[in-house]
Amino acid sequence: MNGIPGAGGGARAAGALQPLLPADPSSLAGYRLLGRLGAGGMGVVYLGRTASGELAAVKVTHAERADQADFRARFRREVEAARRVTSPWAVPVTGADPDAPEPWMATAFVPGPSLGEAVHAHGPLPERSVRVLGGAVARALAAVHEAGLVHRDVKPGNVLLAVDGPRLIDFGIARVAGETGLTSADVVVGTPGFLAPEQAAARAADIGPASDVFSLGCLLAFAATGRPPFGTGTADALLYRTVHDDPDVDGVPEPLLPLVRRCLAKDPAERPTAEDVADRLTADAEAEPPDWLPAPVVRTIAERSARMLALPDIDPTEPGAPPEGRRAPGRRRFLLSAGGAVLAAGAAVGARALYDRGGDAGGAKTGAGARERRWVIGVHADLTGPAGAIGRAQEQGARLAVELFNARPPSGGSARKRPFTLTLKVSDDRGDPSRALAAARALTTDPDVLAVLGPTSDTTGEAAMPAYDEARMPVATVSAGLNLLAAGDLRTLVRAIPSHPKAGNWIGFHVLHQGSTRPGIVHDRTDDVYGWQYMGGVDWAVRYEGASTPYHRVVPAGTTDYRTVIRDMLDHGIDAYVHCGVTETAVRAALALHEAGFTGPRATGQRVFDEQRFLREAGAAAEGWAIGAPAADPAALPSAAAFRTAHARRFGAAPAPYAGEAFDVVNLMIDVLVEAAAGGSRPGRAQTARALLAAEHRGAMGAYSFDASTREVNGIGTYMYVVEDGRTRYVGAAPLGPPGKKGS
């Protein structure tokens, strides 16, 4: 996220935060701006925070630059390039508007130092650190190349260091492989000293993925020795040495030297691929402990993360009277300072304020003409895949809401009259992200579909949302809590579920209420983003006002030996265990804890609740575990009595988890459509999306309204279940804060 001189990776570190100037804005597109991370002739990079507390690096270009057509085109390319790269080792874009008067882009903020800053401050990295660093950056570059791009500026300032691994940043000069537009053929683009010979010689036609691999070789040599392989000096001298001289690799550890030399081959054809480099570097590293950085660097990261907690607060959400004209939410109110999602100040995956740009086709008047068109609500769900039980429960809840509405008397004689007949249209993606886009388009291409419930999971939601957003289709999900679903330019999504970081908050508070002062927190990287977001939420909660001192472990994907992980955590004195990960690894952790005789509080989150596999495979080891979920138990809520009765009559069984939430959200959609029909028109999709975001509804499971900036439901928290005798018993809503906090 560079392109601004003086605003490189090191400038984005928390230690370099400068105060805002009088001419700087205090907020931008839903981000409160807290200070400057860097500035130059092109613009300014600010540290921003969303309404929900997540931090972002917000890059804003100067207006005079934005007036240059080629500059705006380059900025748009930067945004597009960054969004095409999907990797846990590349910092994601969380929002952007290349068409704004002053184009801006926000990326997740990483509070650690850049590689260059760390090496200059603390010296070269040890061999294992270099292996982990190079393996992760190589994986990020492999994702860049898979997206058809070349990064073109891999250097120490564009690699940020975090406790759970490095992050590659800055796609300002990335471009499609083989493309030469927007840059003159004789212009050298990149950073001298870390360029490939074909870049240094401005041979644009030869620049490709192998060029990034050469830069990666320079990066590895620098990390291992503390020196750039082609020395220092003027740009001309560095470019000449890169093309003609051998690199200085004295001091590179012997086991790494052959690979580094291959990366630094003058001929691009002789270099390995990024994937090959990653495989060579991580063959042994992933089996070793996850504490990959030297202690002085870890202390730097910890100090900077602490400074993030000391930044000015944004307005907290506190208990009290609701704003005039709005009812207080009937479900759980989020009582924390919005700084609670500083939880992600390492995860840093924020939602941004979203904008509706219109796009309505215009509604047809009710009457004879309107009766020729159907009024359809869609359900996008996994009905036959890994989350089929959840998808089918939601489909049943939606179907029941539609059937009860259609059972109302038609317009004319009742206060609850039916101005139209509803149809339910269901699209099954089988839980497969590769099918999710087609499942979404089956609904968006039907002009009668006015709103959609779903998708069921994070991964299918990510794949499907571009189609929904393009069609201006209002979408409400009750089971996909990924923060990234509300990032970027999405204008039509609302989430009737807390984000994973917020859910992690409540899991952390639950553990504190069990008396823990030294909880162990595992970030399982099997589903890295989910685990990352949950871990950040738990970590912030258990540290809240010094409530406890947690011990962390980051466990690589594919790890099967949880005995070693648990033994290490017990040796460090943990008195509780929180698993931020998927069911498969939660089973391994439960078995290892049971074998070790650990009986302290054990807790986990939504992904484990969503599958009965944990109870089956963990068996006796699952007893006593607490599992948080965004779905309450209808059997425990007096307000859900009529829903339970209707569900049992219609389907012959009690409602499964998520059925009640789906029932409520579809009834909320119905309220919006009925109100539009009362005004004499059939609403368009964008109009329905705006109305849905502003609507309020009191349903079987509680009351619903949405935050206009985050598009997330107000007030709903996490609900706790405890495993007893091989079953989950509903406990109730998770505490709102640590012990002693009012309302917790």
Answer yes or no: do 387 and 462 share one domain.
yes
Answer yes or no: do 457 and 574 share one domain.
no
Domain coverage including residue 440: 356-497+659-709
User: SS3 breakdown of the chain: % helix, strand, coil, rounded to 5?
Assistant: 40, 15, 45
Q: What is the pLDDT of residue 742?
A: 58
In a domain, 419, yes or no: yes
Q: What is the pLDDT of residue 488?
A: 45
| Residue 539 annotated among the catalytic residues of the structure | no
Answer yes or no: do 508 and 587 share one domain.
yes
The helix or strand, by DSSP H or E, that contains position 264, with its residue range, turns out to be: none
Work out how many domains the chain is built from and give that number: 3
Q: What is the pLDDT of residue 286?
A: 47
In a domain, 426, yes or no: yes
In a domain, 193, yes or no: no
- Which positions of the chain have pLDDT values less than 50? 1-15, 178-187, 285-289, 313-371, 413-414, 487-489
Answer yes or no: do 431 and 407 share one domain.
yes
Answer yes or no: do 449 and 533 share one domain.
no
Q: Which of 77, 108, 139 is the last residue of a domain?
A: 108
Answer yes or no: do 437 and 510 share one domain.
no
Q: Which of 86, 108, 130 is the last residue of a domain?
A: 108
CATH number at residue 681: 3.40.50.2300
Write the CA distances from 656 to 186, 389, 633, 634, 701, integer angstroms: 65, 8, 8, 9, 13
Q: What is the pLDDT of residue 415?
A: 53
Given 70, 99, 153, 575, the catalytic residue: 153
Sign of the C-alpha dihedral computed for residues 511, 514, 518 and 524 taken in this order: negative
Task: State yes or no: cis peptide before 447, omega within 30 of 0.
Answer: no
In a domain, 617, yes or no: yes
In a domain, 50, yes or no: yes
Quote the tokens at residue 740.
């002693």
Answer yes or no: do 400 and 537 share one domain.
no
Answer yes or no: do 578 and 726 share one domain.
yes
Q: Which of 63, 88, 108 is the last residue of a domain?
A: 108
* 285-309 residues labelled b (16+ CB within 10 A) or e (exposed): bbeeebebbbeebeebbeebbeebe
Answer yes or no: do 513 and 491 share one domain.
no
Asked whether 266 and 277 are in contact (CB, 8 A), the reply is no
Answer yes or no: do 514 and 492 share one domain.
no
Q: Which residue, among 551, 536, 542, has the nearest Cα to 508 in the 3D structure?
A: 542
CATH number at residue 75: 3.30.200.20
Answer yes or no: do 452 and 360 share one domain.
yes
In a domain, 386, yes or no: yes
Residues ≥6 apart with Cβ < 8 Å to 294: 122, 125, 126, 129
Answer yes or no: do 579 and 727 share one domain.
yes
